[in-house]
Amino acid sequence: MGDEVIIGYSFWGFLGPGITDTPDGGRSHRRPLVDALIGQGHQLVFLQADRDRLEAGDDLGGRYAFERGLPEIDVLFLEWRWIIPGRNTTPCGTPEHTCDLHRQHELLDHYTVVRRTPTVIWDKDRQLTAGSPWRHRPGVIVCEAALAPTAGARSLLFPVDDALLDSADPRALAIVPRPITLGYVGNQYDRDEEFDTYLASAAARFPHRVAGKWPDTDRWPYVTFLGRIPFPQVHELYGGALATVLLLPRRYAAAGQVTQRIFEAVLAGCLPLAPADIRHVERFVPPRLIVRDRTDVIGKLARLRAIAGSREHMRLIAECLHHLELFRLSTQIRVLEAVLADLTGPRARIEAVSSGREVR
């Protein structure tokens, strides 16, 4: 788009490595997206708490601006937050309370409702219901990280930095020693059935490691659970693993939404096995890495172990890197620029004037 805008960006997480004991899958892709928007000439101000500084003691070199008030902005950009009972629904100041949801309500009320500020809602966790009034409100565009988003929403995938894609070397990745056959990074949330089907039986047969928050593991006593690991160790775990499995909640799989784990794994040379019930699965991985049941997973892991370090292994990594083009940052930035243009361009301004909205 031609006009630079001031974007008020609301996210509950980190731009840097952050702390270990917290869920935040955005650490692998949020900062590249932010830096690319700044590189496009836009100004960004962050509207949630500066958790990098407050919790991790990292000021990120003073590069980014955080604002607890209600500054002048042209567009509100929300990484959508939802109700988490006992955490963001409790009174402010109580133990374990997080104020992400209260702050989001404040931002929506002030900007979207009262000031009618153009608003982008990025529903990264598929928590915004199909019937939500926000999906039908003028001046609001909902984006989802899926190839088959909800009707009326735009597809905005998790981005992977162009530089990482361009520098990845399949040959170098193929010859790395990989003592762990199966590695997995991710939390338990809504994944028990998928874990049983695609990973648990394989873990009983091959060297493996599972990292993430898995509070209920009694049914899998033979699985090695590491607990949460620091974000920089995610690359290390994948870098020593031959393969992983893309375990997705059903609401993700049905919409063709694959998380950032796919490029975290592939960029470390760890091959992603993908369940066949993921919508548009053929766009995410080569056909040889699509699996249909636990027997399929075990058979493919045995085959991958047999070719580890070979030219065939190298070619398979190269195919996986090619499939990551779908997530390329420069592509996703063009998608987001088109959304911003639709919200703030001449046509949007004419509609705003005709509806009585304030236009900056």
Nearest Cα neighbor of 99 from 41, 161, 43, 47 is 47
Q: Which fold has domain 162-326?
A: Rossmann fold (3.40.50)
Domain boundary assignment for the chain = 6-159+328-354, 162-326
Residue 79 tokens, joined = 């990484």
DSSP symbol at 122: E
pTM over 0.85: yes
Reading the chain (360 residues) residue by residue, the pLDDT tens digits are: 446 899 999 999 999 999 887 778 899 999 999 999 999 999 999 999 999 999 999 999 999 999 999 999 999 999 999 998 988 889 998 898 899 999 999 999 999 999 999 999 999 999 999 999 999 999 999 999 999 999 999 999 999 999 999 999 999 999 999 999 999 999 998 999 999 999 999 999 999 999 999 999 999 999 999 999 999 999 999 999 999 999 999 999 999 999 999 999 999 999 999 999 999 999 999 999 999 999 999 999 999 999 999 999 999 999 999 999 999 999 999 999 999 999 997 655 545 544 555 544
Q: Which fold has domain 6-159+328-354?
A: Rossmann fold (3.40.50)
- Whole-angstrom Cα distance, residue 112 to residue 141? 11
Q: Do 6-159+328-354 and 162-326 share a fold?
A: yes
Decide if 68 contacts 49 (C-beta within 8 A).
yes
CA atoms within 13 A on the CB side of 135: 16
Helix (H, G, I), strand (E, B) or coil at 95: coil
Q: Which amino acid belongs to residue 314?
A: M
